[in-house]
Amino acid sequence: MASQIEQQVMRRLGSAEIRYTKGRRLLVQALLEADGPRSAGDLYRELKEEVPLSSIYRSLNTLSGLGILVPHHGPGGNNRFELSDWLMGHHHHLICKSCGTVDDIRLPGQTESIIEGLVGSATADKGFKASDHSFEIYGTCGDCLAEGRNEGL
Ligand SMILES: [Zn+2]
Ligand SMILES: [Zn+2]
């Protein structure tokens, strides 16, 4: 599965005549394995400092500009990035207000249909045609709950 997504990434880069360098490859692979959006600092640590931080920032910019990555503006003002929905599939986010962790969640098709219906009725009055939606659910993650930390942000 990973290689199929990487092929799509390579095609998109290729059409912009941008090379899929080792640094970019490591970055995309780290995001493929991640369970939620990651900041440049997170990726730097997860890649064991193998890719310089400045190059991670540049790659995040390049890949976002091509629509391969999308920024996620979580709590704490720390920009996190993830692979776009056209690569990773539609999903939502659980955001811990205590530690700032952002987790991906995928909902069953039936639940998505209910949400589509709600989005439709919420936007119809405004004459707005919704094309997409994303849920951000705020609270306290399991780790923080277990350690008795409560929402601080
Ligand atoms: Zn937490
Ligand atoms: Zn996500």
Q: Domain spans of the chain?
A: 1-89, 90-153
Our CA angle for 146, 151, 153, nearest 5°, is 140
Q: How far is the CA of 130 from the centre of ligand 2 (A)?
A: 19
How far, in Å, from the CA of 147 to the mean position of ligand 1? 9
Give pLDDT, residue 74.
72
What's residue 2's pLDDT? Answer: 53
- pLDDT above 70: residue 114: yes
| Ligand 2 centroid, distance to 152 Cα (angstroms) | 22
Pick the CATH number of 90-153 from 3.40.470.10, 3.30.1490.190, 3.40.640.10, 3.40.50.2300: 3.30.1490.190
Query: What average pLDDT does range 75-79 have in this prediction?
Result: 72
Q: Give the closest ligand to the alpha carbon of residue 97.
A: 1
Task: Please tell me the least confidently modeled range out of 37-41, 82-86, 149-153.
Answer: 149-153
State what percent of residues in the chain have pLDDT above 90: 77
Taking the C-alpha atoms of residue 31 and residue 28, their distance in angstroms, rounded to an integer, is: 5
Residue 152 pLDDT class (50, 70, 90 cuts):
low
Angle made by CA atoms 92, 93, 94, in degrees to the nearest 5: 140
Taken in order 13, 27, 87, 83, is the CA torsion positive or negative? negative
Q: What is the pLDDT of residue 25?
A: 95
> What pLDDT is recorded for position 21?
93
Ligand nearest to the CA of 105: 2
CATH class of 1-89: mainly alpha
pLDDT mean over 104-125: 93
pLDDT at position 89: 92
CA–CA gap between residue 93 and residue 110 (Å, rounded):
18
pLDDT tops 90 at residue 132: no
The pTM of the full predicted model, rounded to 2 decimals, is 0.84
Q: Measure the CA–CA gap between 39 and 44, rounded to whole angstroms.
A: 9
The rounded Å distance from CA 149 to ligand 1 centre is 8
Torsional sign, CA 93, 26, 49, 58: negative
